[in-house]
Amino acid sequence: MSDLHKLTGAYAVDALDDLERARFEQHLAECDDCRFEVAELRETAALLADSVSIEPPAALRDSVLAGIAQVRPLPPVVTPMRTPATTLRRRLPLLVAAAAVLIVGLGAVVWQPWSEETPTRLTAAEQVLDAPDAQQVFLDLGDTGQATVTRSKAEDRAVIQTEDMTSAPEGKDYELWLLSPDGEFTSAGLMPDGGDQTLVLDGSAADAAAVGITVEPDGGSIQPSSEPIALFDLTQAT
């Protein structure tokens, strides 16, 4: 633990990589001293910007103000919608699993462990999950959680179901991807934080060779900016 405490400085100046950051944020959720110190050191680091300040081009102001005119500010965080934020943070990923990306195809798994736990499953998802030609790939992501991708060629859709999935690191989102047979990634939408979910992927899935998950900057990316933390190989599913 004493080792983790010393990361406050590196964390405050964004000098941790994604995995280290996720691990440290998990520690932060439980360590008041570190949270306090991080706040102070961030404030301190921000003062360094005073020594490099430069007036931006006037056009930037116009762009910013034109931009905000089109966006509604988010509401304040009132009551947590799922689990209390601290609990979520406590369950933040030891994304260590990412180090070794597992590519596993388990073939046809006749197994729907979530059918009782998620009575409010979306109809669109049910259509895929119950399709006669549904194919499933299950991946155990270690401390990050577990996920199953189900694809129906007839429905042309894929569904991901997660279990005990930890939240993406602060300022990051999980993004889902459909990988074409020639290796092109197409975004299939963001995966909201939340331990157990059932989500229909955006886009046509009939020809997809695989489904991937990456950790992307908040709001997602047009193309993956990092190696997938999980890759579900659909060519091996039957």
Partner 1 sequence: MEHVRPVPDGVPAKGAPSGGDAARLAGLLGKAALGDQAAFAEFYDATSARAYGLALRVVRNPAHAEEVTQEAYLDAWRSSARYDAQRGSAAGWLLTIVHRKAVDRVRSVEASTARDETWNREAAPIDHDQTAEAAHASLDATRVRNAVATLTDVQRQAVELTYFGGYTHTEVAALLDVPLGTAKTRIRDGLIRLRDLMGVAS
Q: Is 39 in the site for partner 1 (CB under 8 A)?
A: yes
Q: Are 212 and 185 in contact (CB under 8 A)?
A: yes
User: Do the beta carbons of residue 158 and residue 131 sit within 8 Å?
Assistant: no
Binding range to partner 1, per CB under 8 A, among 70-78, 109-117, 143-151, 181-189:
70-78
Helices in the chain by DSSP H: which ranges? Answer: 2-5, 8-12, 18-28, 32-48, 58-68, 85-90, 123-129
- As measured in angstroms, the least distance from the Cβ of 16 to partner 1 is 6
At position 62, the amino acid (one-letter code) is D
Residues from 177 through 216 that contact partner 1 (CB under 8 A)? none
Q: Residue 91 corresponds to which tokens in the numbers above?
A: 């369950």
81 binds partner 1 (CB under 8 A): no
Beta-bridged to residue 103, according to DSSP, are 231
User: Considering only residues 1, 32, 57, 123, which one is a binding residue for partner 1 as defined by CB under 8 A?
Assistant: 57
Least separation in angstroms between CB 129 and partner 1: 34
Nearer to partner 1, 12 or 201 (CB): 12
Is residue 14 near partner 1 by the rule CB under 8 A? yes
Smallest gap from residue 93 Cβ to partner 1 (A): 18
Alpha carbons 157 and 234: distance in angstroms, whole number: 12
Binders of partner 1: how many residues, by CB under 8 A?
53
| Beta carbon of residue 51, minimum distance to partner 1 (angstroms, whole number) | 5
Q: Indicate whether 55 belongs to the interface with partner 1 (CB under 8 A).
A: yes
CA atoms within 13 A on the CB side of 68: 7
